[in-house]
Amino acid sequence: MSEQLILKSLSSQGVATITLNRPNIFNGYNEEFLIQLQGTISELESDTSVRVITLRGAGKHFSAGADVNWFKELAISTPEVQLAAARLSTGVMRALNNCKVPTIAMIHNACFGGGTGYAAACDIVIASEDARFAITEVRVGITPAPIMIELINAIGVRQMRRYALTAETFDVREAKAIGLVHEICAVGSLDVAAAPIIDQLLRGGPKAIRDTKALIAEVGDSLLPDEEVEKMARISAAGRSTPEGIEGFQAFLEKRSPNWYLMDE
């Protein structure tokens, strides 16, 4: 029996909770994690009794992005395996972004790399005051292709041009200022902060809310066609085999600066 990397629960009101459950590695994702997450999203949105989905992370952090050990495996895998992994990553973000049910991301502490993609793909984001964010991919010589469309839709092209290029860490107040976060709450108060928002969602007609969410995506032109999703996956996969991708990841593992970062003498 496979380990439960994704936990789910459903309240009597129809509020589902998805919990990223790899706290020992800060909820980093690997292949099995993404497969379970995609399956859980599909199962919950197909259940007409589900009115709202909340997404949270177990343990100290929301999500630090990808599992380094998985990246180690991918670094020495065939191009076919790398492409399959990129398709899976891109597909999960798309599934969360296109979920028919309203989604609320509940962020605490670290939200890095793919974690920012989860946040951007959700309809509403609540973050506690200790939350920190970073779109980290370029630091290891790859692009954030699997989360690109979700982040651009959330923070806009202008902010994406800064934070995806610098990979700098920014705090929760900056995240709110640029549109990634809707509400800030005290540390440990995510459930309290989410309660009135969930209540407002439950007051709307379930079908009307699903239809409205679908219409927003259609009119707002935030739904990527299949060929664009495939393009993002191929860009992501190809990046792992470039000299920069190999050097960037090796430098990360060795806890040193990559060879493209030349410090002043």
**For the segment 190-244, what is each residue's pLDDT rounded down to a tens digit?**
999 999 999 999 999 999 999 999 999 989 866 677 888 888 889 888 887 788 8
Q: Decide if 235 contacts 149 (C-beta within 8 A).
A: no
List residues bridging with 111 in a β-sheet.
63, 133
Give 60-104 pLDDT, tens digit per residue.
Answer: 999 999 998 898 888 888 999 999 999 999 999 999 999 999 999
Spatial separation of the C-alpha atoms in residues 33 and 44, rounded to whole Å: 17
Do the beta carbons of residue 136 and residue 65 sit within 8 Å?
yes
- Please give the Cα distance from 144 to 151 (Å, whole number): 10
> Of the given ranges (1-10, 95-104, 183-192), which has the lowest mean pLDDT?
1-10
**Calculated CA dihedral for residues 244, 95, 39, 16, nearest 10 degrees:** 120
103-107: strand order across its sheet: 6-10, 15-20, 52-57, 103-107, 124-128, 183-185
Residue 34 parent element (H or E): helix 31-46
Instruction: Please report the pLDDT score of residue 203 as a whole number.
Output: 98
- Whether the CB-CB separation of 98 and 66 falls below 8 Å is answered with no
Q: What is the mean pLDDT of the chain?
A: 93
pLDDT at residue number 263: 66
| 50-196-177 Cα angle (round to 5) | 105
Q: What are φ and ψ of residue 126, in 5° steps? A: -115, 130
3-state secondary structure of 221: coil
DSSP string, 124-185: EEEEETT-EEE--GGGGT---GGGHHHHHHHHHHHHHHHHHHH---EEHHHHHHTTS-SEEE
Question: Per-residue pLDDT for 128 more than 80?
Answer: yes
Alpha carbon 13 to its chain's center:
26
Instruction: Enter the tokens of residue 179.
Output: 């549109």
